[in-house]
Amino acid sequence: MKAYDAIVIGSSAGGMYALKNLIQGLKPGFRIPLIIVQHLSPHSDNYLAHFLDQLGILRVKEADERESIKPGHAYIAPPNFHLLIENDHTFSLTVEEKVNYARPSIDVLFETAAGVFRDRLIGIILTGANHDGANGIKSIRSFGGFTIAQNPATAESDIMPKAAIATGKIDKIWDINEISGFLNSLSNT
Amino acid sequence: MNTSENQDIDDSILQLELELLLEALVRQYGYDFRNYNKAHVKRRLLYRMQQLGLKSLSELQHHILHQSSTLAMILKDLSINVTEMYRDPSFYLSLRKEVIPLLRTYPYLRIWHAGCATGEEVYSFAILLKEEGLYDRSQIYATDFNTEVLDTAKKGIYPVSKIKEYTFNYQAAGGKNSFSDYYTARYDAARFDPELRKNIVFASHNLVTDSVFAETHLIICRNVLIYFDRSLQNKVLNLFNDSLIMGGFLGLGSKENIMFSTVQDQFLILNPNEKLFRKKIMK
Ligand SMILES: C[S@@+](CC[C@H](N)C(=O)[O-])C[C@H]1O[C@@H](n2cnc3c(N)ncnc32)[C@H](O)[C@@H]1O
């Protein structure tokens, strides 16, 4: 089976519980790093990282600038910063203008991750009420990566997964438990 | 050749073009972006290339070398001048509580805002100094390498549409008066009190290539180092260390730190969350 180096995930409205369910469905000791952009208010603290960390399945933390991406970890983009991936598999943060009215923007993460991890990257779009992430999905596919959208019928908000699907570049449309199941099948714990 | 090999070649060509373009910028114009974060620089340049309808970074380089208007655009793209008044109010609150009482002990103050962009941060702090009764003994240097943003900073005129948010931030930052005391609104422009500018010198200064400001009591440099790689961050932190008096203060952005650098032992951590540091007093 094909090996993957990283999984990037974009979520917005309703994302907190979608992320919780996804991570809860993973086997303890899941190895492939998750890198997550969840749209949040610019003034929010790092509650989301704590909340997901407490599930006890992965070490979940806010991504720090220049930090190296490590297996068994999930990283959340800090509120009010864009999160970018460098060639040496470290994070960069920027405060440039919002993209798709969002900072952090899913497209910014996905596009920079695509160029670095190429065909060893999985991109996942979950629930959300905007179009962020659709361009990122196109980038991931253009580098040979694998793309998944949450089933709009079971997403709390279907606009974002529908926009991703409308690009024609989504490989699989799945419910959250199917996504977790697929990821488990990839990771050698 | 399969597609993945093709992509390898495309990738290495792109990498080469990127390096050549950055080399051209430094050799022809003295702007050195070679130690800026690559993901950021590449993203911004590719965006500009597409906007101009060009097919490669080599073409973009040609434009940069032969049309000065393109250079100005690129400087803007790479410098990211996004800022606001009292960004992170808790930072200002902590300056007020933890730094101001110590600054009060000096008969005069030299303060340096490095990478001040369009000046919102400088006016924010000038207001704070006024309210704390320290403004009149302060000399404030506000610098950026982008002269276009400095022109805006000198005017001190900002969109009225931002005032609501700034008023909220001002209060959260511990503001003592009514924020509207500090500006006059006309149509869609809020013009900040020229008195605030009396002790401010706006000047062009490049952190990568220019030298120290001697005998500084406080340096505020926020959301600039995040664009630099570790080696350049280290170099600039050394520049700050050399510019500060013993016992002087350094305030960085919420995601920036000195704790990896060669000057980390020269500083005490005053507030780890707000990234406030104090240079140690050594005998
Ligand atoms: C994101 S803004 C930060 C503005 C403000 N300090 C704040 O935190 O809101 C970054 C600023 O750093 C400036 N800058 C970037 N590289 C620089 C350099 N080498 N020397 C001086 N200024 C630089 C940019 O022009 C830009 O105005």
Give me the residue from A78, A92, A118 closest to B40, CB to CB: A92
Confidence at residue B1, expressed as pLDDT on a 0 to 100 scale:
42
Taking the CA of residue A66 and the nearest CA in chain B, the distance in Å comes to 8
Nearest CA-CA partner of A34 in A1, A69, A68, A3: A69
Interface residue B35 vs chain A (CB under 8 A): no
Amino acid at B213: F
The 10s digit of each residue's pLDDT in B174-228 is 999 999 999 999 999 999 999 999 999 999 999 999 999 889 999 999 999 999 9
Residue B4 pLDDT level (bands cut at 50, 70, 90): low
Alpha carbon of B144 to ligand 1 centroid (Å): 6
What are the boundaries of each domain within chain B?
4-78, 89-279
Q: Across all residues in chain B, what is the average pLDDT?
A: 95
Residues 6+ apart with CB under 8 A from B163: B179, B183, B185, B190
Q: ipTM value of the model?
A: 0.92
pLDDT above 70: residue B7: no
Q: Which CATH architecture has domain A1-8+15-91+172-189?
A: 3-Layer(aba) Sandwich (3.40)
Confidence at residue B3, expressed as pLDDT on a 0 to 100 scale:
52
Multiple choice CATH, B89-279, 1.10.1740.10, 3.40.50.150, 3.40.50.300, 3.40.50.1970: 3.40.50.150
Considering only CB atoms, which chain A residues are within 8 Å of B223?
95
The 10s digit of each residue's pLDDT in A104-124 is 999 999 999 999 999 999 999
Lowest mean pLDDT: which of B9-18, B99-108, B126-135, B228-237? B9-18
User: What is the average pLDDT across B222-242?
Assistant: 97
CA distance B29 to B8: 31
Considering only CB atoms, which chain A residues are within 8 Å of B226?
65, 81, 92-95
Q: Taking a C-beta distance cutoff of 8 angstroms, is the pair A52, A60 a contact?
A: yes
Burial state string for B27-55 with b = 16 or more CB within 10 A and e = fewer than 16:
eeeebbbebbbbbbbbbbbbebbeeeebe
Confidence at residue B185, expressed as pLDDT on a 0 to 100 scale:
95
CA distance B109 to B81: 27
CA distance A117 to A120: 5
Nearest CA-CA partner of B121 in B196, B211, B232, B205: B196
Burial state string for A19-38 with b = 16 or more CB within 10 A and e = fewer than 16:
bbebbebbeeebbbbbbbbb
Query: End-to-end alpha-carbon separation of chain A, Å?
Result: 15
The 10s digit of each residue's pLDDT in B68-91 is 889 999 999 998 999 999 999 999
pLDDT above 90 covers a percentage of chain B that reads 93
Residues 6+ apart with CB under 8 A from B25: B31, B32, B33, B64, B74
Considering only CB atoms, which chain B residues are within 8 Å of A64?
255
Mean pLDDT in order along chain A per 10 residues (189 residues): 92 96 95 96 82 96 96 96 97 94 96 96 97 97 97 97 98 98 86
Q: Which residues of A are designated catalytic? A: 12, 39, 132
Residues 6+ apart with CB under 8 A from B265: none
* Residues in a beta bridge with B279: B267
C-alpha dist (Å) from residue B248 to A68, B216, B241: 32, 7, 9
Alpha carbon of B253 to ligand 1 centroid (Å): 11
Confidence at residue B214, expressed as pLDDT on a 0 to 100 scale:
87
CB contact residues (below 8 A), chain B span 92-151, against chain A: none
Confidence at residue A189, expressed as pLDDT on a 0 to 100 scale:
55
Burial state string for B257-266 with b = 16 or more CB within 10 A and e = fewer than 16:
bbeebebeeb
The 10s digit of each residue's pLDDT in B133-187 is 999 999 999 999 999 999 999 999 999 999 999 999 999 999 999 999 999 999 9
- CB contact (8 A) between residue B39 and residue A64: no
**What's the token pair of residue B202?**
């706006």
**Closest ligand 1 atom, residue B116 Cα:** 6
